[in-house]
Structure 1
Amino acid sequence: MKILIGGFVAESNAYVAQPCEIQDFTIVTGLDEAAERLYVKDIAEQEGIELVPSYFAWGAGAGRVAYDTFDYIQKQFLKAVREHQHEIDGMFFFFHGASNVIDLEGGSGDHSLIREIRRIVGPYMPIAMVMDPHGNLSQEQIDNCNIIRTFRHSPHTDRDEAHRIVFRALIDLLRNRRDIHPVWRKVPILLGGERCVSADEPLISINKLLDEIEADPRIMCCSYHIGYLRHDSDKCGAAVVVVPNTPDDVDYANEKADEIYDFVWGRRHEFHFTGNAAEPDEALAMMMEQPEGPCFLTDSGDNVTAGAPGANTYVLKQVLALDDYRGKNILFAA
């Protein structure tokens, strides 16, 4: 049995003037590194599965992706898909879900890629996708995949576990073929990651509910997607995804999707900044009043892990305007 593997990672912050270009991506084409990045090499060896590498473009938080850059990435990806489509049994991808491409119809590079892949391989090729919880979904994305699941935790301490869960689910689907697709609910919540930390409520309770539902044999997997908000797209925002284990479980999966949706919506006002959050002047005053260090002050509006350049000098100007540093040594970094 052969499974094609690949990945596309871009987190596109439209507030950054500099576009994300090809040199901002790490391109991986070798099998060993690709399999290690997807955390499934050992499972494939144990299960007697041959992994077939396609194309991997690993970016990070940055500006919107330049059109020529994405066009090149997509062409290379699709070239590999065409080359191997007749020898493979299924496909396993990691698509982050938060890309936005300049001048691309629909905006999302992730959604464009999976649309074109599905167009090439047809409706019967099983496709499993792992996503980052800070990625966005659409009905088209749901329709083009058989399995979708994201990580539970932010920070992403369970990333390897999520990959392995989805890969094992794909193996099960290939060995016991059935026509399944995810069901989903778009949740009208649009929040940044600073208010969606999984070590805090309401994510603790949401993830507990997801684990309980996922333990049901009628459910293959389920997830809550926080979504991404730093570019303008109708795809931005939160979502619930539930994958039925068989076609007979679709109605039940829809019931569970509604249950998760209602649970999240009922606790929407509980999302909050984790830690000590304040307006800039108050935050600086709080830091300066700390009797001992070290004390960290971060600018959530210039979050480099979400694509910001880390070049905002607002806090620097605040500090330079202080009359008294109270004997503190202050380090600036980005």
Structure 2
Amino acid sequence: MSKGHVIVIKKKHGGHGDGHHGGSWKVAFADFAIAMMALFLLLWIMSATDKEQKSAIASYFDDPGSFRPKSSSRPIDFGGGMNTLVDIPKPGPGQRGREETEVVTKENTKTLNNTLIFDKLSDELQKLIGGSKSAGRYEDYIQLEETPEGMRIVILDNNKRNMFEKGSARLKPFYQDLLLELAPIVNKLSFRLMISGHTDSSGFQRRAYSNWELSSDRAQIARRTLVFGGLEESRIMMVLGMADRVLRNPENPEDSSNRRIEILLLTKEMEERLEDMFEPVEKDTQNFSDEESQEMNKALDKAIDNELPEEMVDDIRQEMLN
């Protein structure tokens, strides 16, 4: 090697030589893919929900703390008469460790909007229970339950404080106050409602006055008290007495919890079903066969033998002829 010529060898570190590439681009691409997935998911939700549901979703992000933790388990109604819940099961035999997403459909579940109304009613009742003249005054006497038919407010009797005088429909002052304070809360919501009276299974010695009459009279007293307290009369769809047919504590038929007043705030679907149930039947569908007519005449003759009032017999016979 001759003097005066110096050979310099340069080595590059961290560059992108042939056959070797860095991994930073993969992270960027993953971020991009996630962002696109979120965008498409957002667009899908926007197209699958109506105006009320969008408003409900927006209200959640405005104040997430106002939602109950368990409300996240309630699905959003995406139309078509059913809701979707996504369930990711554990891989089973033959799946080779691959997780599959199973879409489970559930019909007749509540929409997010109904859930929000239930939460609102629950909050109002909590204020009623805790914000009364004495804290916890009504705590042992009122319960709120969510059912497929609507939201049920249960006013419970208690051995410490009876709702009615025994065997009568005379409402005690404590429960009068409870219903009067409850009336404006129920009136705020857009539901029609049904009021039912319930007794325990203990009988009492009064001729021609059973638990049927007693429960009906008690339900009517509850209705009048609610109306006096500010509930619009037109909101009441049905008032009925259930006697002891639906016991809350079947193991102890005479338990005080069986004596109660229930106020059911009906879903729109349940309201329509009740209307359909009591709609007049078309006359064309009331054609009876000869055998059916004979059975009805036998029943009518038996009623006459039992001294049914003459005017009632005439009304029944005229209805059959029509």
TM superposition score category, shorter chain reference: under 0.3
- Between Structure 1 and Structure 2, whose CA radius of gyration is higher? 2
TM-score relative to the length of structure 2: 0.28
Q: Which has the higher contact order (CA 8 A, sep 6+)?
A: 1
Whichever structure has more helix as a proportion of its residues is: 2
